[in-house]
């Protein structure tokens, strides 16, 4: 008995000093004399970069999803029991016996195939010991995150941003598929059989796309701008065909510079998101999307003929702005009530090697530099006028001079040139 007590104290000490990356392994080792498991997963929202910490059978822990853990948490809450919850649940892609335990910090612990080790007459209850060890581990996680060094915070933020990016792209892709299916099923020009056939075809293509998604490696791969644009057409054409909206595609130059994979992939996702946001408005009948490539930037323009109610501050649009800025690009939204919206996006083909911020060669006046800086930051004429306390007509006057001096023929091109010279 004394040996068991000493081992428990040693396990507690190891758990209390465990680094975040090892805490799942330490917890599983500490619990092993009392309850065994094939896999152990910790799910905590304190660690945004790595919300899951895992130990055990790799075939199980590599397949555990957040959706599975959310379902187990819901079952635990529904049971209304503060103690461990035993039951069958989908875990690691298969239905297994699990034991779930919550914590005061709202972290979740899940063990698969739990097997309590028979205790001696005077020994503690295995589930009580597990609950105690888990409470200690959850508190350790909370403290470690609160005192995390800058390197951990940077890594966590990067991981969170990547997860958000991937999730947002999948949401846009699935939204396009579902909108297309609904448009087919609701189309007054299609009979029931034709609508079902069209919806089935869309679903089948989407499933094929999902199954091959993991095989696509867009990073570090270049894609010709013409073929990248053609893939965008293929993504959007079914939706437009069923919804009755006329979508117009203005082709980029065939001999334009090839796009880095991440730029091509993000550009298609950005345009899909813009089109979906425009389709949500009432009265939209026409959308035009245009790509151009000046050798330095991918220039995107998307216009609609709607009521001009597209809000740049709407959550969907704000998310698109963040995606553009993640690629060192910029997005400007020009809304004209009763006439529609005009969205201009500029994405550099190469990340900036160093901040340049040198526009002396353009011989701009002080006010012109201020206007150019605000333009590069994505401000429209009204916003520039408000920030500089001048009229919109004066802003237009400065912009005309700017275009002439820097050699730009459009607002989008001026934004791209400003970014190429380090202005943000």
Give the pLDDT score at 155. Answer: 47
**Distance between CA atoms of 210 and 307, rounded to whole angstroms?**
35
Give the per-residue pLDDT at 208.
67
State residue 220's pLDDT score.
Answer: 39
- Distance CA(143)–CA(331), nearest Å, equals 40
Name residues of the chain where pLDDT drops below 50. 1, 150-151, 153, 155, 214-220, 353-357
Query: What confidence score (pLDDT) does residue 363 get?
Result: 82
- The pLDDT assigned to 412 comes to 73
Token pair of 281 as six digits: 């408005």
**How many Å is the maximal CA-CA distance in the chain?**
90
Separation of CA 197 from chain center: 32
Tell me if the pTM is above 0.85. no
Q: How far apart are the first and last CA of the chain?
A: 68
Spatial CB neighbours of 60, under 8 Å, sequence gap ≥ 6: 38, 39, 91, 92, 96, 112
CA 343 to chain centre: 21
pLDDT at residue 210 in the model: 63
Give the dihedral of Cα atoms 210, 214, 218, 224; nearest 10 deg.
-50
Structure tokens that stand for 53 in this block? 């910490």
| Segment 235-259, tens digit of pLDDT | 887 776 667 788 889 988 877 778 8
For 239: left if phi > 0, alpha if psi spans -120 to 50, otherwise beta; the answer is: alpha
Q: What's the confidence (pLDDT) of residue 351?
A: 63
Inter-residue long-range contacts of 125-130, CB under 8 Å, 24+ positions, other chains counted: 126/34, 126/35, 127/35, 127/83, 127/84, 127/99, 129/8, 129/31, 129/34, 129/35, 130/31, 130/34, 130/35, 130/84, 130/99, 130/101
Give the pLDDT confidence score for residue 214 in this predicted structure: 43
What tokens does 406 get? 């820097």
């Amino acid at each position: 008995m004394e040996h068991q007590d000493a081992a428990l104290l040693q396990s507690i000490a190891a758990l209390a000093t465990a680094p975040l990356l090892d805490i799942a392994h330490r917890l599983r080792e500490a619990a092993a004399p009392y309850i065994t498991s094939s896999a152990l997963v910790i799910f905590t929202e304190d660690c945004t970069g790595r919300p899951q910490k895992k130990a055990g059978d790799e075939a199980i822990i590599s397949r555990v999803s957040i959706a599975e853990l959310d379902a187990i948490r819901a079952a635990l809450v529904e049971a209304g029991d503060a103690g461990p919850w035993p039951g069958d649940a989908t875990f690691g892609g298969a239905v297994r016996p699990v034991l779930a335990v919550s914590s005061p910090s709202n972290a979740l612990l899940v063990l698969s195939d739990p097997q309590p080790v028979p205790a001696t007459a005077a020994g503690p209850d295995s589930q009580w010991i597990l609950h105690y060890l888990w409470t200690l581990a959850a508190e350790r996680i909370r403290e470690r995150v609160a005192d995390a060094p800058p390197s951990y915070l940077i890594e966590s933020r990067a991981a969170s941003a990547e997860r958000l990016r991937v999730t947002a792209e999948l949401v846009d892709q699935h939204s396009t598929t579902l909108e297309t299916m609904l448009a087919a099923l609701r189309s007054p020009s299609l009979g029931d059989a034709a609508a079902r056939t069209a919806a089935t075809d869309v679903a089948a293509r989407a499933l094929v796309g999902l199954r091959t998604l993991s095989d696509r490696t867009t990073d570090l791969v270049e894609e010709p701008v013409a073929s990248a644009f053609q893939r965008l057409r293929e993504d959007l054409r079914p939706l437009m065909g069923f919804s009755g909206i006329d979508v117009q595609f203005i082709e980029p130059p065939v001999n334009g510079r090839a796009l880095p994979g991440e730029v091509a992939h993000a550009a298609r996702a950005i345009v899909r998101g813009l089109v979906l946001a425009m389709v949500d408005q009432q009265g939209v009948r026409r959308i035009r999307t245009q790509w151009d490539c000046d050798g330095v930037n991918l220039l995107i323009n998307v216009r609609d003929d709607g009521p001009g109610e597209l809000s740049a501050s709407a959550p969907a649009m704000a998310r698109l702005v963040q995606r553009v800025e993640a690629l060192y690009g910029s997005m400007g939204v020009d809304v004209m009530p009763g006439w529609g919206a005009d969205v201009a996006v500029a994405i550099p083909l190469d990340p900036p090697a160093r901040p340049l911020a040198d526009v002396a060669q353009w011989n701009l006046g002080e006010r012109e530099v201020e206007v150019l800086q605000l333009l590069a930051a994505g401000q429209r004429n009204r916003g520039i006028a408000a920030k500089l306390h001048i009229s919109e007509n004066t802003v237009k006057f400065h912009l005309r001079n700017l275009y002439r001096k820097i050699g730009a023929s459009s607002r989008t091109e001026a934004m791209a040139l400003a970014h190429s010279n380090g202005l943000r």
